[in-house]
Amino acid sequence: MQYIESKFPPELLSDASEKKLDYFKKKIVSHPHLVQSYNLALDCIEFSEKGELVWIVGPAGVGTTQIVRRLWKDTSNAPSEPDEDGMAAPTTATVVVDAPDNAERINTQYWIRLLGDLLHAHGDVLIDRKIYVPPSQFTLTHPIPYADPRNRNFDTLKHAAISMLKHRQTQLLLINQADRLFPESHPSGCLQSLQILRDLAAQTDTRIVLIGSYQLARTACTRNNWLHRQHTVHLRRYDPTDSDEFNAYARTLINLLAHMPTEQRMETLSLEGAKKICISTVGCIGTLKRTLTRAFQHALRTGEKMTEDFILQFTPYNTVAREIARDAMHGERLLLDVSLDDVRSVLNATNPGASSGTGNSSNRSAPKKTTGTQGGFNQRRIGERNSSRDPAGGAYGPRRT
């Protein structure tokens, strides 16, 4: 039984229910998988080359949206740099868009919608045709006609988007729900999306980050191995069968419960209760936060005491959790790396003389030796750090912003 010590400001207890709920909704609790994935995302963004894409994938409800919000917060305030005339050019370091629904097909009209959303999110429609006139020296006598980018053709919008990204010196384009760009039922549309994204990245200094579910990973892994050729960040769920991961999940759960500003909050948590909540939320912190928010909102309205059984009423239905778990397991298998011994066995099968020491192998370099346990770091999942070599934070100098 773990005692839960309150961590919220005491004065919140006398505030209205709306303020209490708003405080909890905005509370972000860091946890190992989130910190690790965020730092790896920064590294991928910093070290990627022109035309390369960064992929952030994970199961539904794992918390990829938190990475998007933190990337936007940490990179959106970039200083303005002088233009050719010595004037301070307006910059937008980071822009975020959600990929629109696709109706299972990707075509030119779909990309007209997405490019239009990008232009609107950036605040520009005709960036290369604007001039600045001080308002005190000019009075409009006729209204400026509004040009809806969705009514323009694809090539015009693509050119406008590239011009805008260059002019605004945009360094980071975050596309949330990016799995919509790659529907499994439309291979040609997937190829079109990939080509357009690569064109945008190659013709600007913008790094493009795609954030999505394992559907993005499934499509990418089956379409010319795109995902493995790019920079991949895998934000995983916590595995309740692994003691270390379950303990990390339980600490995050306790931390969230400690920030509930109410007298009806839980004060203790049992090991069995934490295990049930972890399984019901499939080990996903995003799903856990939504569960606790719904339970907290209900308790504020009814005055009920929050218990483990009370919270379990607001977890996803078991049928939903089962489908999320199946999708998570399948996605993890897609991204699971192989050991160096597996690579060596393939090479030895191609060159039979290599393993037996016979044949013309005198000019071949000896295989690299592995250290540590069998398989070493090669057995970790794609998109994960090696904790012994890559600390989760503070290991690098200034980031690209």
| pLDDT (0 to 100) of residue 235 | 93
Look at residue 195 and tell me if it is in a domain: yes
Per the model's pLDDT, the better-predicted residue between 275 and 138 turns out to be 275
Position 368 pLDDT exceeds 70: no
Interval 98-119 mean pLDDT: 88
CATH assignment of the domain containing 62: 3.40.50.300
Q: Are residues 215 and 85 in the same domain?
A: yes
Position 228 pLDDT exceeds 80: no
CB atoms closer than 10 angstroms to residue 236? 22
Best CA proximity match to 4, nearest among 233, 226, 236, 251? 251
Q: Are residues 189 and 92 in the same domain?
A: yes
Position 129 pLDDT exceeds 90: no
Distance CA 209, CA 131 (A): 31
Q: How distant, in Å, are the alpha carbons of 374, 376, 378, 385, 389 from that of 371?
A: 8, 6, 11, 17, 13
Q: What backbone torsions phi and psi does residue 212 show, to the nearest 5 degrees?
A: -165, -175
pTM of structure? 0.75
Lowest mean per-residue pLDDT among 157-171, 266-280, 340-354: 340-354
Distance CA 110, CA 107 (A): 5
Look at residue 13 and tell me if it is in a domain: yes
Domain boundary among 199, 229, 259: 229
Q: Are residues 217 and 112 in the same domain?
A: yes
| pLDDT (0 to 100) of residue 343 | 87
Q: Are residues 296 and 258 in the same domain?
A: yes
Q: Are residues 79 and 161 in the same domain?
A: yes
What letter would DSSP give residue 224? T
| pLDDT (0 to 100) of residue 373 | 39
Position 172 pLDDT exceeds 80: yes
Position 81 pLDDT exceeds 80: no
Position 73 pLDDT exceeds 80: yes
Strands (E), 105-162: none
Q: Are residues 103 and 195 in the same domain?
A: yes
The number of distinct structural domains making up the chain is 2
- Domain extent, residue 316, equals 2-29+240-334
Position 205 pLDDT exceeds 80: yes
Task: Look up residue 263 and give its two tokens.
Answer: 């007298």
CB atoms closer than 10 angstroms to residue 352? 10
- State the pLDDT confidence band at 227, using cuts at 50, 70 and 90: low
Look at residue 398 and tell me if it is in a domain: no
- State the pLDDT confidence band at 154, using cuts at 50, 70 and 90: confident
Per the model's pLDDT, the better-predicted residue between 66 and 219 turns out to be 66
Look at residue 313 and tell me if it is in a domain: yes
